[in-house]
């Protein structure tokens, strides 16, 4: 989880994220290959692709926690990881980062005190109650985090990321382990947040979730396969669903790779 302070002079950057030639090396391997993409403000951008294609690495680069990043990567008008982005970016990793021996509310109070040390305690408490309601955990606020289900713990992590109402939310597979009702409710919350002006970058490998995004970045093997609205991707590929569009694009990319191999 990461949150960073308001930086009004740069708040008008046209895109929330702008990458130009983004390349990341992990261990001995290049796992992101010269990516060019943007994430528009005030929308939900879905980052989709098979396991291991580089979604988490891209998200870690955006929030500034990834090593060996080269190329240009601007976030809210600043270089990714810039200290002034701290309260402007919320990040939820795949592994919920909560303290099991604290209650849900104590976890949120603790993170609010760290993230917003200069805010009046009464305001922080109000923020805590707001995010508890947003993730539908008010009734479990006094339960120990260690006694929660996996899906509930994920929602505590999401609540922490919502503290302070960050402009950009980077959510790595936020709906894993949630039942269909909670999944639907979370997507409703994501759309409410976007309608209030927040930008969301949400990864998933569940293709039906792609249909709920305003825009998609489809990834394969550390490369961006396609970038556009679900409608544009379906039209471009002559398919009915984003899943079919993705499979068509994968097949085209594989055929292009084979052609390159045979002409070498
Ligand atoms: N520490 C590491 N050293 C070397 N390679 C790594 C390391 N961590 C991850 N990788 C590789 O980087 C690639 C991208 O991993 P990443 O976790 O970003 O993928 P992902 O699309 O988020 O996968 P998943 O959906 O399974 O979480 C993978 O091929 C993975 O094996």
Residues 6 or more apart whose CB falls under 8 angstroms from that of 264 comprise none
Nearest residue by C-alpha to atom 31 in ligand 1: 52
Run of H or E residues at 256: helix 242-262
Nearest residue by C-alpha to atom 26 in ligand 1: 51
Complete edge-to-edge strand list for the sheet that includes strand 69-75: 29-40, 15-26, 69-75, 78-79
Pocket mutation for ligand 1, best pick of 22, 23, 29 (most atoms within 8 Å of C-beta)? 29
Q: Could you tell me the CATH superfamily of domain 14-88+169-251?
A: P-loop containing nucleotide triphosphate hydrolases (3.40.50.300)
Rounded CA Rg of the chain: 19
Spacing, Cα 57 to ligand 1 middle (Å): 7
Pocket mutation for ligand 1, best pick of 55, 62, 224 (most atoms within 8 Å of C-beta)? 55
Q: Which atom of ligand 1 is nearest to the CA of 59?
A: 18
With b meaning 16 or more CB within 10 Å and e meaning fewer, what string describes 209-222?
bbebbebbbbbbbb
Q: Where are the domains of the chain?
A: 14-88+169-251, 94-165
Spacing, Cα 32 to ligand 1 middle (Å): 10
pLDDT at residue number 264: 67
53-60: average pLDDT: 96
- Give me 112's structure tokens: 């609010």
Nearest residue by C-alpha to atom 28 in ligand 1: 52
Q: How many other CB atoms sit within 10 Å of the CB of residue 153?
A: 21
What residues flank ligand 1, with Cβ below 6 Å?
26-27, 29, 31, 49, 51-57, 205
Spacing, Cα 59 to ligand 1 middle (Å): 11
pLDDT at residue number 234: 94
**Tell me, what's the ipTM?**
0.96
* Alpha carbons 104 and 114: distance in angstroms, whole number: 16
- Give me 206's structure tokens: 């569940």
Spacing, Cα 110 to ligand 1 middle (Å): 31
58-82: average pLDDT: 96
pLDDT at residue number 3: 41
Pocket mutation for ligand 1, best pick of 56, 67, 217 (most atoms within 8 Å of C-beta)? 56
Confidence of residue 255 (pLDDT cuts 50, 70, 90): confident
List C-alpha distances in Å: 33 to 30, 68, 167, 224, 225. 7, 12, 27, 9, 12
Per-residue pLDDT reduced to its tens digit, 217-233:
999 999 999 999 999 99
**3-class DSSP state of 205:** coil
Q: Is the pTM of this model over 0.80?
A: yes
Closest CA to 136 of 73, 179, 98: 179
Residues 6 or more apart whose CB falls under 8 angstroms from that of 105 comprise 128, 132, 141, 142
Residues 6 or more apart whose CB falls under 8 angstroms from that of 135 comprise 155, 156, 158, 159, 162, 186, 189
pLDDT at residue number 191: 95
**Per-residue pLDDT at 88 exceeds 60:** yes
């Amino acid at each position: 989880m990461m949150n960073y302070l308001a930086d009004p002079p740069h708040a008008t950057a046209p895109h929330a994220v702008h990458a130009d030639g983004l390349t990341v090396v992990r261990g001995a391997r290049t796992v992101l290959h010269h990516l060019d993409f943007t994430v528009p403000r005030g929308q939900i951008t879905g980052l989709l692709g098979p396991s291991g294609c580089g979604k988490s690495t891209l998200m870690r680069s955006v929030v500034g926690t990834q090593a060996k990043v080269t190329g240009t990567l601007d976030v809210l008008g600043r270089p990714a990881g810039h200290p002034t982005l701290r309260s402007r970016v919320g990040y939820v990793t795949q592994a919920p980062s909560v303290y099991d021996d604290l209650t849900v509310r104590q976890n949120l109070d603790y993170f609010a005190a760290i993230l917003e040390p200069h805010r009046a305690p009464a305001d922080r408490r109000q923020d805590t109650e707001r995010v508890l309601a947003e993730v539908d955990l008010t009734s479990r606020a006094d339960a120990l985090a260690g006694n929660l289900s996996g899906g509930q713990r994920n929602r505590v992590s999401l609540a922490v990321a919502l503290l302070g109402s960050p402009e950009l939310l980077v959510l790595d597979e936020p709906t894993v382990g949630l039942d269909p009702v909670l999944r639907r409710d979370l997507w409703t919350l994501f759309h409410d947040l976007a309608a209030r002006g927040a930008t969301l970058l949400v990864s998933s490998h569940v293709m039906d979730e792609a249909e709920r995004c305003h825009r998609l970045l489809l990834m394969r093997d550390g490369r961006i396969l396609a970038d556009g609205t679900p409608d544009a991707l379906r039209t471009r590929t002559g398919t009915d669903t984003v899943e079919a569009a993705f499979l068509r694009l994968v097949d085209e990319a594989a055929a292009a790779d084979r052609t390159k191999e045979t002409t070498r």
